[in-house]
Chains A and B, each alone.
Chain A
Amino acid sequence: MQDVFQPLINGILLGGIYAAVGVGLSMIFGIVRMVNLAHGDLMILSSYIMLATCGILGINPYTSLIVALPVMFGLGYGIQKYILNRVLGAGMEPPLIVAFGLSIILQNTLLLIFSPDARSLQTSLSIKSIDLTQTVSIPVIYLVGFVFGVGTVSILQLFFRSTFLGRAIRAASDDEMAAQYMGINTQTIFAVAMGIAMMTAAIAGMLIGTTFTFFPHTGPQYLIIAFGVVIIGGAGSMIGTLAGGLILGIAQLMGAYFLGSGYQLLAGYVILIIVLAIRPQGLFGKAGRAA
């Protein structure tokens, strides 16, 4: 039974990575009540951007964030300002379908540019590990991911609580008209929020790219994980995102450990469906805010 510690530790660390994956989706859902179906694909786009950047400039993935972060911010800002702002409030179908369309466009464009081969972001950390005991070790790349994940969520939490801009975003999502009366240009604020969410997607894309392989169609898989994090933890709550990530990570790896590696994703999906059915607002969400 000693063996169970390894997958448990891996699950916890993976949870940190998953939190980074889910936090952007959680933000957008909490702020503009929209599920960005293209979230996973935007993450993978970011991975490819970093792949290209590392290849052209010869830098490591962590440094390539310097390029990826502003690019993704700009992309998110642009998408929200020019596309999504136009369909918000037009009912439920348009934003869903527009995001869905974007997802398909992204996946297939990446396919055309990069081919379906699996890629990864190279870093020397991928093979290192820290040995705790004879049977248990910590893969360094997972640990780095965990730190980035927890760090990202914590910084965002601080941002929303303690800055004027963060408060403005929260106010605009509570009551858009009242926020306008406070002098907040809500269309721009929503675009900024999306930009920030895309920066988290860039970080998540880096973590995924360095820890696992990716190819153009990897997006939806991570959308579902992000969705899982948001569902289990509750939308719009940073603590919830962390909790959601941890639970999902542990559930997946425990599932793989007890049932076999082919069932890793399945274990996650099953937990997700159960939570959706029993408590759709998640652990830290407020009841009655579903869709």
Chain B
Amino acid sequence: MPQPVLQVCNVDIHYGDMQAIWDATLNVEAGQIVSIIGANGAGKSTLLQSIAGSIKPSGGDIIYNGERINALMPYQTLPLGISLVPEGRRIFPRLTVLENLLIGAYAPKARANHQRILEGIYRLFPILKERTHQMGTTLSGGEQQMLAIARSLMSDPNLLLFDEISLGLAPTMIKSIYESIKAIKQLGKTMLLVEQDLQRSLKTADYAYVMQKGRIVLQGNPADLSEAEIKKAYFGI
């Protein structure tokens, strides 16, 4: 049995004196879509950021392809193949759509192939080709989300981390974005999805973890989990 792409083992995370994550353990296998769901403040984003490297765990191990990556900064995890689509998208405001995409291919490995990858991106997200010379921030919310995802794809990552991609978007937009996620899965990418939107993420995921107040309280194949169980874990009732 090949080892998982990502192993989070007994991770604790503190903000100063305050503990935010207790003993988090999760695995992501190659080619899987795993989702982490939970209410606001449950700690999902914090966990994701610790994988990317912008937050450091205070205990436990984060292992990617067999390597312990706890101490790495985000600009060091990117070349290894981990790409975070940040919460709030964080499109570069003074760069055009094209420039935002090109920046995604900054890492040397991606830079060599950036033209080819770009063409692939345009096929996946035709709207971005249309708007290619516009300033990133003039796009609508949904288009910006697509741009953020596309930008992360430009580095040709193995593991994509999605932080609340459906936040603030209209349902049709969300549907469209989840369609692209399925398409990305076809490319063989592994994905870890953090979501508040229960329905969508459960439908799309191969495996789910539910977090509540900093702890993972439930996990399993979405098909096997009952609605009551999930609600209880999510809301804590």
A–B in direct contact per CB < 8 Å: yes
> A180 is contacted by which of B54, B95, B151, B152 (Cβ under 8 Å)?
B54
Question: A167 at interface (Cβ–Cβ under 8 A)?
Answer: yes
Which of A170, A171, A184 has the most B CB atoms < 10 Å from its CB? A171
Cα A126 to Cα B73 with chains together (Å): 52
Q: A170-B92, A170-B94 are in contact. Are A181 and B83 (CB under 8 A)?
A: yes
Closest to B53 in A: A180
Residues on A with C-beta less than 8 A from B59 are: none
B178 touches A (CB below 8 Å): no
CA distance A164 to B52 in the complex (A): 22
Asked whether, in the complex, the Cβ of A170 is within 8 Å of the Cβ of B106, the reply is: no
Residue from the list B52, B74, B95 in contact with A174, Cβ < 8 A = B95
* Interface residue from A164, A175, A180 paired with B92 (Cβ < 8 Å): A175
CB-CB < 8 A to B151: which residues of A? Answer: 182
User: How many chain A residues touch the partner (CB < 8 A)?
Assistant: 17
Are A182 and B78 CB-contacts (below 8 A) given A174-B95, A177-B54? yes
For the complex, what is the distance from the CA of A181 to the CA of B73, rounded to whole Å?
Answer: 9
**How far does the Cβ of A176 sit from chain B's closest Cβ, in whole Å?**
10
B103 at the interface (CB under 8 A from A): yes
- Do residues A182 and B106 form an inter-chain contact, with CB atoms below 8 A? yes
Q: Which of B78, B92, B95 contacts A183 (CB under 8 A)?
A: B78
Query: Is there an interface contact between A182 and B90, defined as CB atoms closer than 8 Å?
Result: no
Task: Out of A175, A183, A184, A186, name the residue touching B90 (CB < 8 Å).
Answer: A175
Contact-residue size bin, chain B (C-beta under 8 Å from the other chain) = 20 to 34
The interface residues of chain A, by DSSP majority, are classed as helix
Q: Does A185 contact B (CB under 8 A)?
A: yes
Cα–Cα distance between A283 and B60 once the two chains are bound (Å)? 54
Complex: A164 Cα to B111 Cα, angstroms: 9
A6 → chain B closest CB, angstroms: 41
In the complex, which of the residues B78, B103, B107, B155 contacts A167, with contact meaning CB atoms closer than 8 Å?
Answer: B103
Q: Are B90 and A168 in contact (CB under 8 A)?
A: no
- Mark A residues whose CB is within 8 Å of B: 164, 167-168, 170-171, 174-175, 177-186
Q: Shortest 4 CB-CB distances between A and B: which pairs?
A: A183-B78, A178-B90, A183-B107, A180-B74
Residue positions of B touching A, CB distance < 8 A: 52, 54, 73-75, 78-79, 83-84, 86, 90, 92-95, 99, 102-104, 106-107, 111, 151-152, 155
